[in-house]
A and B are shown apart, each in its own frame.
Chain A
Amino acid sequence: MLDKRAAIYSSRPRMVVFGELSMGQSNIVSMFYGDRWRVHRKLTHMGVGLQLVRSYSGFQNNESKVVALEILKDPKDYVMAYERYAASVVSIIGFNRRISSKEDPIITEVIAVMQKAAELNVPGKTFPMLLETFPCKIKSHFCCTS
Chain B
Amino acid sequence: MAPWKHGLGGGKGRGRSFYYALAEEAVRKNGGETCYAKKVFDEAPKYGLTNLEIASLNGNLFGAGSDTSSSTLCTFTLACVAFPDALPKAWEELDRVVGPYRSPGLDDDLPYIRAFVKEVFRWRSVAIIGGQPHAPIQDDYYKVCELLKRSPNFSNSVQGWYIPKNTWVQGNVWAIHRSENEFPEPDRFYPERFFEDNPLHRPFPNDKGYMTFGWGRRVCSGQGLAEQGTFLTVARLLWAFNIQKALDKSGNEIPVDIFDYT
Contact = CB atoms under 8 A, between A and B. Distances in A.
A91 B35 CA distance: 9
A45 B74 contact: no
Contacts of A27: 53, 56, 59-60
Interface residues on A, range: 35 or more
Interface residues on B, range: 35 or more
Interface string B66-88: 11111001100100000000000
A97 to B, nearest CB: 6
A14 B171 CA distance: 17
Nearest to A45: B221
Contacts of B136: 5, 8-9, 11
A3 B214 CA distance: 9
Contact of B60 (A44, A85, A87, A119): A44
Interface in A68-108: 68, 71-72, 78-79, 82-83, 85-87, 89-97, 106
B256 to A, nearest CB: 14
B215 A96 contact: no
Interface string A111-129: 1111111011100000110
Interface centre among B7, B34, B64 (most CB of A within 10 A): B7
Interface stretch (B151-159, B162-170, B187-195, B247-255): B162-170
Contacts of B62: 87, 90-91, 94, 110, 113-114
Given A46-B43, A89-B69, A146 B137 contact: no
A53 B224 CA distance: 7
A20 B213 CA distance: 24
Contacts, number: 273
B13 interface: yes
Contacts of A82: 69-70, 73-74
Contacts of B70: 79, 82-83, 85-87
B232 interface: yes
- 10 residue pairs, one from A and one from B, having the closest CB atoms: A116-B7, A6-B216, A2-B215, A95-B26, A22-B8, A86-B69, A27-B56, A82-B70, A96-B35, A13-B135
26 contacts: A2-B130, A3-B205, A5-B136, A8-B136, A8-B138, A9-B169, A18-B8, A26-B52, A27-B60, A30-B132, A46-B39, A48-B225, A57-B228, A65-B103, A65-B236, A67-B73, A67-B233, A68-B103, A71-B237, A83-B67, A86-B65, A91-B62, A97-B26, A110-B62, A113-B18, A145-B1
Interface of A: 1-3, 5-15, 18, 21-24, 26-30, 33, 39-41, 43-50, 53-54, 56-57, 60-61, 64-65, 67-68, 71-72, 78-79, 82-83, 85-87, 89-97, 106, 109-117, 119-121, 127-128, 142, 145-146
